């Protein structure tokens, strides 16, 4: 039961603002558009429910300033994840 509920919960994305330089890599390459940039160019989580926790952003953040905690999982997410993480 608990598992079913967790599946609907979007992944948890944390941006460590003190280290983020606003380079734009995470938001520009996010394959689902979960991340976006504010007027100053800094990333924020615009649509958390779109995140498939592929980890693209986390692996390539040059400043180690973003974490994605894997919560949900489904076929589609796995597919995109495989393609995204090359």
Residues interacting with another protein, by CB under 8 A?
Answer: 18-25, 28-29, 53-55, 58-70, 85-86
- Could you give the CA distance from residue 78 to residue 86 in angstroms, rounded to a whole number? 13
Tell me how far CA of residue 84 lies from CA of 25, 52, 57, 60, in angstroms. Answer: 14, 11, 10, 11
What's the rounded Cα separation, in Å, for the pair 80 and 54?
Answer: 7
Residue (24 or 33) nearer to another protein, CB: 24
Which of 17/47 has CB closer to another protein? 17
CB of 7 to another protein, least distance (A): 16
Burial code of 42-52, b = ≥16 C-beta within 10 A, e = fewer? bbebeeeeebb
- For residue 55, the minimal CB distance to another protein (Å) is 3
Q: How far is the CB of 1 from another protein (least distance, A)?
A: 22
Cβ distance to another protein smaller for residue 29 or 47: 29
């Amino acid at each position: 039961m608990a598992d079913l509920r967790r599946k609907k919960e979007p992944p948890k994305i944390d941006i460590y603002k003190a280290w983020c330089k606003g380079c734009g890599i995470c938001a520009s390459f996010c394959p689902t558009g979960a991340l976006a940039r504010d007027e100053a160019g800094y990333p924020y989580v615009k649509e958390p429910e779109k995140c498939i926790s592929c980890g693209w952003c986390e692996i390539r953040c040059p400043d180690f300033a973003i974490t994605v905690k894997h919560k949900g999982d489904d076929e589609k997410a796995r597919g995109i994840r495989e393609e995204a993480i090359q």
